[in-house]
Chain A
Amino acid sequence: SINPLLYETQFFGFTPQTCMLRIYIAFQDYLFEVMVAVEKVILKKASSLPGSTLSAVQIRGSTETFLRFMRERFNRLFVKMEQVLLQLVLNIPPNILLPEDRSHEKYPQGREDFHLLQQEVEQLRLRYKAELGAKHALLAELEVQKVTQARLKKTLHWFDGLGDAHGPLGLGEMMAFLIQHSGRLRSITQDVTQKSK
């Protein structure tokens, strides 16, 4: 089964296998290129030798023999190199958490915990709104109280303008005097009425 090396890919931004394939193809291309260059040089040299019977076909045959051997060794060595690189270089050890996943280390919460947390945040938000509402209501009442108190004080002040509850100075005494003597007046009135009958 293919191990897609997803976590490594998340870190490197490419799959390690692609990287190895890229290296393999590049190395192999160089082996071929250098072999072509070698064959060209030998061909050129051989053809410049006086009386040389070495043909291009023979040289090509030699090249293919050497290249076949080199490719076989190349592939074997490359498999080993690939294993080492995939295990030791292009590898995220199992105990490693990538920086972008750090939160999973601290908050391994499951689905339920998360929903509970979301609900609690929502309830807190509603409570906060309620408290804000209460605050506005209280401030509104304080505002109303201020106006009411001002009006009541104004009324009281108006009363004060009339003097104290017994009216302007002396009115109280006069009233008391009147009250006191109104009784006398009433009895005199009654006497007079009596006598006139």
Chain B
Amino acid sequence: FDEVIVDTATKRKQYPRKIAECVIKTMKAQHE
């Protein structure tokens, strides 16, 4: 349970930024 909590919380901390980076990259590529 503890591992699941840490794993979920870590994703919540890191993934939004990673997803945002991907979205920005996609936007830039589309623009180009």
> Chain A residues in contact with chain B, CB under 8 A?
2, 4-7, 9-11, 13-15, 17-18, 98, 100-101, 103, 125
Q: Which residue of B lies closest to A5 (CB)?
A: B5
Task: State whether the Cβ of B2 lies closer than 8 Å to any Cβ in chain A.
Answer: yes
Beyond the given pairs A10-B9, A100-B16, 8 more chain A to chain B contacts, judged by CB atoms under 8 angstroms and listed by A's residue number, are A4-B1, A4-B5, A6-B8, A15-B5, A15-B6, A98-B13, A100-B17, A103-B16
11 pairs of residues in contact across A and B, judged by CB atoms under 8 Å: A5-B5, A6-B9, A6-B12, A9-B5, A9-B9, A10-B13, A13-B6, A13-B9, A98-B13, A100-B16, A125-B30
> Chain B residues in contact with chain A, CB under 8 A?
1-2, 5-6, 8-10, 12-13, 16-17, 30
Contact yes or no, A17 B2, CB < 8 A: yes
Interfacial chain A residues near B5, Cβ < 8 Å: 4-6, 9, 15
Interfacial chain B residues near A103, Cβ < 8 Å: 16
Interfacial chain B residues near A4, Cβ < 8 Å: 1, 5
Contact yes or no, A14 B16, CB < 8 A: no
CA distance A11 to B14 in the complex (A): 11
Contact yes or no, B30 A13, CB < 8 A: no
- Contacts A100-B13, A100-B17; A14 near B30 (Cβ below 8 A): no
CA distance A100 to B16 in the complex (A): 8
CA distance A10 to B16 in the complex (A): 13
Q: Which residue of A lies closest to B4 (CB)?
A: A4
Q: How far is the CB of B4 from chain A (nearest CB, A)?
A: 9
Interfacial chain B residues near A18, Cβ < 8 Å: 2, 6
Q: How far is the CB of A59 from chain B (nearest CB, A)?
A: 40
Q: Which residue of B lies closest to A14 (CB)?
A: B6
Q: Which residue of A lies closest to B16 (CB)?
A: A100
CA distance A13 to B12 in the complex (A): 11
Q: Which residue of A lies closest to B27 (CB)?
A: A121
Q: How far is the CB of B3 from chain A (nearest CB, A)?
A: 9
Interfacial chain A residues near B13, Cβ < 8 Å: 10-11, 98, 100
Q: How far is the CB of B21 from chain A (nearest CB, A)?
A: 13
